[in-house]
Amino acid sequence: MKKILLATSAIVALMAAAPAGAADIPVKARPLPPPPPACAQFGGFYVGGYVGAGYYDHTWNDRDAWTREVDDDLQRSNIRTDKSGFIGGLQGGYNWQANCAVFGVQIDYGWSNINASVLETDGDLGAALDTLSVESRLKGLGTVRFRTGIVVDNIMLYVTGGFGWGNFNRTYTQTDVGAPGFETFAVNKTKWAWVAGVGSEWAIWNNWSIQSEVLYAKFERDEAVFTCAAAVTCTPGGARSVRFEHNDSAWVTKIGLNYRFGPR
């Protein structure tokens, strides 16, 4: 009987000591969740639209002195004009983001009707008036650009550069009111350009953001050749070819709204 009591007491003592020993066994801690990003996320595909203002600068050069055929007072062979106007269009692209650094590519196209025009006269009055009209319209501007920047809180600041193209409509008209007579040349032209600028994008709500940019586009120089045939505007040399050279550039300031496809 005494042996049974001793055995029972030993078992009870072991059972009481077991929880205390188990408490001393180290327990592997669960890994902590990754910290939330310190800045807004702009990664993924996005599409949007924009509106803005364009400043178009155009220089026209009369390579063969066509303006002197009518009047020696119309001797300006180099004319520079500029004009500001509205531009608006669509945009889209893709961003790669690592922490708070962003690298992306954007494609956009905007429609405009900015007419850099000038009317030159010889200063005479009435029937002796001779005129020269030069018009160049910037009808549209497209770009394909890379951009790279950093995100501070919920705003991305970036620089951008790439190439672009512009659509131009040009018209040149020379009139001799006294003769009377006139001649008009017209051409539609698409020109390539290099483009550079700076911008920012502000994450405002879920996957929506507001983007603003300032861009400069410098277009390739081009030359148009026409046949001058009118008796008044091609005398005394008669029918011949005339060459007009063009230099174009544009500043564009725009603001747009983008939607990004991806996790919020």
DSSP strand pairing (222-228 vs 101-121): unpaired
b/e code 146-164 from CB counts within 10 Å (16+ = b): ebebebeeebbebebbbeb
Rounded Cα–Cα distance for residues 1 and 50 (Å): 97
Per-residue model confidence (pLDDT) at position 188? 95
> Which of 53-67, 70-84, 184-198, 207-221 comes out lowest in average pLDDT?
70-84
Bridge partners, residue 145, by sequence: 106, 162
Higher pLDDT, 27 or 37: 37
Beta strands in the chain (DSSP E): 44-62, 78-98, 101-121, 130-152, 155-176, 181-205, 208-219, 222-228, 240-261
57 within 8 A of 82, measured Cβ to Cβ: yes
Per-residue model confidence (pLDDT) at position 69? 67
Q: pLDDT band at residue 262, thresholds of 50, 70 and 90?
A: confident
| Integer-rounded Cα radius of gyration of the chain | 36
Write down the domain spans for the chain. Answer: 2-261
Strand, helix or coil at 122? Answer: coil
b/e code 58-92 from CB counts within 10 Å (16+ = b): bbbebebebbebbbeebeebebebebeeebebebe
151 within 8 A of 40, measured Cβ to Cβ: yes
pLDDT tens-digit readout, 203-237: 998 899 999 999 999 999 999 998 887 666 665 56
pTM: 0.81
Dihedral sign from CA coordinates of 84, 110, 112, 51? negative
Residue-by-residue DSSP string for 22-59: HHTS--PPPPPPPPPPSS----EEEEEEEEEEEEEEEE
Q: CA of 31: how far to CAs of 23, 28, 37, 114, 176, in Å?
A: 21, 9, 18, 61, 88
Strand, helix or coil at 67? Answer: helix
Average pLDDT, integer, range 37-64: 93
